Structure 1
Amino acid sequence: MVFTIIMRVMFSSQLWCFFASFLKPTPLWRRTTTIAYIFTIVLLSASSWAASSLPSAAPSYWAIPEQSLTAMITQKTEQTLPYFLERDSYALDDIKKLTLSYPQRMQAILLDSTTSAIICARGWAQPLQATGECGQPAGYFRDVIFWDPSRLTTPPHWADLWDVARYPGQRIFFQGPRPLLEIALLADSVPPSHLYQVLATPQGADRAFHKLDQLRPYIIWWRSTSQAHHILAQHSVLMGVAPCTIVLSSQSQHGTAPPYRVQMKTILYSPAMWDIPITLPYQKSNETKQKLLTDPPRTAELPASLPPESLEISDSFWASHALSLGERFNRWLAHSPPIP
């Protein structure tokens, strides 16, 4: 194929004149120019052939963390499919592979604001603004307390998650340090306004893990959206913390009766951002940028006024402490007692 391209280029009428003139005694600079010209045309022809060889009708995707967010994609975009990323697929190495893959089929990826800033600084995402910023705001991720109203008549708060004497039963949490350590300190009466000052210290981290020791025998873990849906469908847990969209969609999918209710006074929230992978082709990039800058898909908005019990998850804190606290959480999990 490359040989065919070269022959076509060399025997085109225009280039043949250059090539013929190259055979005559000519200055060195003119010979060099002729060679560079021919080489450039060959490369451009090969590039055009390679680009045209890619399947043009292949589907494109918008990557989102939960199946329950599918509606935000299908209502706002055409000829686009959602691609589901589980929480344990949001490690930076996984995002790097996703954004740098080629041919690229992801039009946009929904990330937290810290990950968005990191991949922008490393050149894995395309700038959307003249300032060089890559992420386009897409609302907020929200985790909430939920409970079974058939066994608990009053809405629980952070401390009630640990009160197994008054409210016996299993609790469900995502298996990871974020936002579990924040929940532990909130349950231990740390004010939201001071929480990250406390958690950033060795004593604060010890305090959070000691709090988890107290509840560990009652915890059911989930790692994927499908696993969370399955656990909720069994009606086995009394209360827990999960993304609001998972709790609500689980009720509609599995017809939970009685349905779990969500406590909107205790919200853990963090900004969500759309990012465009750096390897997305030019035409598709322009289409996606236009969509994001004019009418981007968004998650549900936060209440106009947030209760004092709510907490904004600090992406900057986790950018600095995710590795150390993640390793400590894994050690804690490996040595913690099993469920009785």
Structure 2
Amino acid sequence: MAGALIAAPATSETLTVSSWGGVYQDAQRALYFTPFAEAFGVTVLEDEFGGGVGVLRAQVMSGTPTWNVVQVEAEELTLGCEEGLFVPIDYDLLDFGPEDFIPGAATECGVGTIVWSKVLTYDANRVDIAPESWADFWDTDTWPGTRGLRRGAQYNLEFALMADGVAPDAVYDVLRTPEGVDRAFAKLDELRDSVIWWQAGAQPLQMLAAGEVVMSTVYNGRVTASNRTGGTDFRVVWPGSIYAIDSWVIVEGTPNVDTAHAFINYTIAPERQAQMPEFIAYGTTVTAASDFVPEEFAADLPTTPGNIEQAIEFDTEFWVENIESLTERFDRWAAR
């Protein structure tokens, strides 16, 4: 069990953890990286991951990966596990087994760390009428100005269909048809001249704060963190949001697999994981952790009943099957 690992890492050992940067990684540093390093006598180095299986594949193919533990999104977890890019998780080295996690959070190659949503956000100080839907996001007459979207097909095709009137619970049924894909790209055509594409998770709120965009897609937790610590008045539009689970993975070729497991185990302690919503509003993955989340923070979480009922779950199966073809089409579309 994990308790036997507490004294295991040598003091000279280094663990490199790659996550998503910005205020979220600041929270991870405070809750996980620094205290774990102190408790284990390990040097924890950090890097930032911008997404994409290709980066992870290159790490493994190098034979000497510079990353040991990485936080990945659902489709990267599935694809990377299928390709053998990740070390299978040994749940005997963790204090919690698959039965102790919410559905989908404990898998062969990954341990869920947060539940997050991709949402519509806007600066309440810069709009006279509050947008309420993806149709409003596309309405450049009522809300003139530029929009922020993360570059890529994922999420944007779903948002485009909802903007075009598709009911949230029908989005993936429509997107599974050639006509649905055409419809989504046609809707993106309407907005293409009004978009600034972002990649790093910190960018959308930076653009909002600077007035570069009127509204943007964003990871929900960053909105709450900015409002709490930065004095901003960014608002989240929950209807039509898409939620997913991010997981810790151990990169194949990592020499210190036991230490990587020890780090993951440290982060999933319920009382510790329940502190994350105090920093940034992401839901917990260990079932017991929800009992420790202070009530005043629960309302901002994507897992809160009133929020999740208006959302749809990211369809990992769809994107694993279609990621290459739709990414190629998106790249051709964006390059036109």
**What TM-score do you get using the length of structure 1 for normalisation?**
0.71
- Work out whether residues 120 and 134 of structure 1, in 8 Å CA contact, stay in contact via their aligned partners in 2: yes
The 5 Å alignment of 1:81-160 reads: 81-86=45-50, 90-99=51-60, 103-128=64-89, 129=91, 133-150=108-125, 151-160=127-136
- Work out whether residues 134 and 159 of structure 2, in 8 Å CA contact, stay in contact via their aligned partners in 1: yes
The equivalent of 1:21 in structure 2 is none
Aligned CA-pair RMSD: 2.9
The 5 Å alignment of 1:28-107 reads: 57=12, 59-70=14-25, 71-77=27-33, 78-79=36-37, 80-86=44-50, 90-99=51-60, 103-107=64-68
1:267 is aligned to 2:220: no
- Work out whether residues 238 and 310 of structure 2, in 8 Å CA contact, stay in contact via their aligned partners in 1: no
- 1:184 deviates by 0.3
- 1:270 deviates by 1.0
CA distance in 2, matches of 1:206, 1:286: 44
- Work out whether residues 21 and 202 of structure 2, in 8 Å CA contact, stay in contact via their aligned partners in 1: no
CA distance in 2, matches of 1:325, 1:93: 16
- Work out whether residues 66 and 246 of structure 1, in 8 Å CA contact, stay in contact via their aligned partners in 2: no
The equivalent of 1:4 in structure 2 is none
- Work out whether residues 233 and 256 of structure 1, in 8 Å CA contact, stay in contact via their aligned partners in 2: no
The equivalent of 1:48 in structure 2 is none
Structure 2: which amino acid aligns with 1:136? V
Alignment match of 2:147 (pick from 165, 168, 171): 171
- 1:82 deviates by 3.3
Partner SS state of residue 55, structure 2: helix
Distance 1:327 1:103, change over 3 A: closer
Distance 1:256 1:273, change over 3 A: same
Q: Which has the larger radius of gyration?
A: 1
Question: Could you list the runs of 5+ residues in structure 2 that have no partner in the other structure?
Answer: 1-9, 38-43, 93-97, 99-106, 284-301
Q: Percent of pairs identical after alignment?
A: 26
- 1:66 deviates by 3.2
Structure 2: which amino acid aligns with 1:278? E
CA distance in 2, matches of 1:168, 1:218: 9
Structure 2: which amino acid aligns with 1:75? L
The equivalent of 2:259 in structure 1 is 284
- 1:251 deviates by 5.7
1:195 is aligned to 2:183: no
Which whole-Å deviations, capped at 9, do the CAs of 1:260-294 have from their partners, x for residues lacking one?
22223442211111111232224424523543564
The equivalent of 2:158 in structure 1 is 182
The equivalent of 2:303 in structure 1 is 303
**What TM-score do you get using the length of structure 2 for normalisation?**
0.72
- 1:197 deviates by 1.2
Partner SS state of residue 167, structure 1: coil
Structure 2: which amino acid aligns with 1:209? F
- Work out whether residues 140 and 271 of structure 1, in 8 Å CA contact, stay in contact via their aligned partners in 2: yes
Distance 1:327 1:256, change over 3 A: farther
Using the TM superposition, name which of 270-279 and 100-109 deviates more. Answer: 100-109
- Work out whether residues 172 and 219 of structure 1, in 8 Å CA contact, stay in contact via their aligned partners in 2: yes
Which whole-Å deviations, capped at 9, do the CAs of 1:166-204 have from their partners, x for residues lacking one?
222221111211111110001111112211111111100
How many positions carry a matched residue from both structures?
276
Partner SS state of residue 186, structure 1: helix
CA distance in 1, matches of 2:84, 2:251: 9
Which whole-Å deviations, capped at 9, do the CAs of 1:50-98 have from their partners, x for residues lacking one?
xxxxx97364222112322121343124223432112xxx222211233
- Work out whether residues 74 and 81 of structure 1, in 8 Å CA contact, stay in contact via their aligned partners in 2: no
Distance 1:188 1:282, change over 3 A: closer
Partner SS state of residue 333, structure 1: helix
The equivalent of 1:334 in structure 2 is 335
CA distance in 1, matches of 2:47, 2:222: 16
Using the TM superposition, name which of 184-193 and 292-301 deviates more. Answer: 292-301
CA distance in 2, matches of 1:282, 1:163: 50
